[in-house]
Amino acid sequence: MAPVLVAAIKLIIMNKDILAFIQKQTAATISCIDDHAKPYCFTVFYAWDDENKCLIYKSSPETNHSKILSHNTFVAGTIHPDKLNKLLVQGIQFEGQLLRNDDPLTKGASMSYHRRHPLAIVKPGELWVIKVTHIKMTDSTKGFGTKLRWLREAEL
């Protein structure tokens, strides 16, 4: 009997608490670095692509951050609860890289984003996709100072 070759596909699995938090919130603050090593932050409404572990947002190509990201695609950001509870701190810090529009991971971004934010379909702008590479979540609902982590490379 001939040996059977099996192609192994490893799924990128994320902690269910991190995933639930990301899916529940709507806004992220993203930071980038300009050509003079000066930081710049901006806030966006986002949608989460769980299959590809990507954050999708819509913005005009004329914005300052879009111009910066055309030269340096590395970003970091935060996601906080839409409604803060000062006693039970929760939040996410993430790192990632902006993908080019022709990257296979951007396929379906429009559907994902506009399903989450249907009114945004009438707003002019382009969709931008960040391939998230690292997440650290602080979740004091699980005990003061609890940290949960996810790293894309560790799962590949």
Beta-carbon contacts of 49 under 8 Å, excluding residues fewer than 6 positions away, are 55, 56, 105, 108, 109, 112, 129
Q: What is the pLDDT of residues 79-114, one digit of tens each?
A: 999 888 878 889 999 999 999 988 999 999 999 999
pLDDT of residue 23: 96
Percent share of the chain, pLDDT over 70: 90
64-83 pLDDT per residue, tens = 999 999 999 999 999 999 88
**Two tokens at 52?**
């590809």
How far is it, in rounded angstroms, from Cα 105 to Cα 49? 9
pTM: 0.87
pLDDT band for position 154 (cuts 50, 70, 90): low
Structure-token pair, residue 68:
């910066």
Rg of the chain over all Cα atoms, to the nearest angstrom: 17
**Closest by Cα among 116, 129, 106 to 57:** 129
The whole-angstrom separation of Cα 40 and Cα 13 is 31
From the number of C-beta atoms within 10 Å of its C-beta (0-12, 13-18, 19+), residue 149 rates as: exposed
pLDDT for 87 equals 80
| AA identity, residue 90 | Q
| Domains of the chain, CATH where assigned | 16-155 (2.30.110.10)
Q: Which residues pair with 93 in a beta bridge?
A: 78, 136
Quote the pLDDT of residue 12: 61
Instruction: Note the pLDDT of residue 58.
Output: 97
Closest CA to 55 of 95, 15, 14: 95
